[in-house]
């Protein structure tokens, strides 16, 4: 990760800002995937129970 910081500082105002955005995007995708999996599992589980 640190090896890419100098490259990022050249193209962006601050590497920390770029890192923050990437983390937010990654977390957003992960949360959507987890939410979708939990929703599917919860629905299937409810139907199996009832």
Q: Where are the domains of the chain?
A: 11-49
Chain-centre distance for alpha carbon 7: 23
Which sign does the torsion angle of CA 36, 42, 44, 47 carry?
Answer: negative
Q: Which two tokens stand for residue 42?
A: 């919860």
* 37 in Cβ contact with 43 (< 8 Å): no
Q: Mean pLDDT of all residues in the chain?
A: 73
Structure confidence by residue, pLDDT tens digits, 27-38: 999 999 988 888
Q: Which residues lie closer than 8 Å to 42 by C-beta, 6 or more apart? A: none
Of 23-27, 39-43, 45-49, the least confident: 45-49
**Residue 7: which pLDDT band, with cuts at 50, 70 and 90?**
low
Residue 17 pLDDT > 70: yes
For the chain, state the CA radius of gyration: 19
């Amino acid at each position: 990760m640190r090896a890419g910081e100098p490259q990022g500082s050249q193209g962006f105002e601050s590497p920390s800002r770029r890192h923050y955005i990437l983390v937010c995007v990654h977390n957003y995708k992960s949360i959507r995937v987890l939410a979708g999996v939990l929703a599917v599992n919860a629905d299937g589980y409810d139907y199996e129970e009832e």
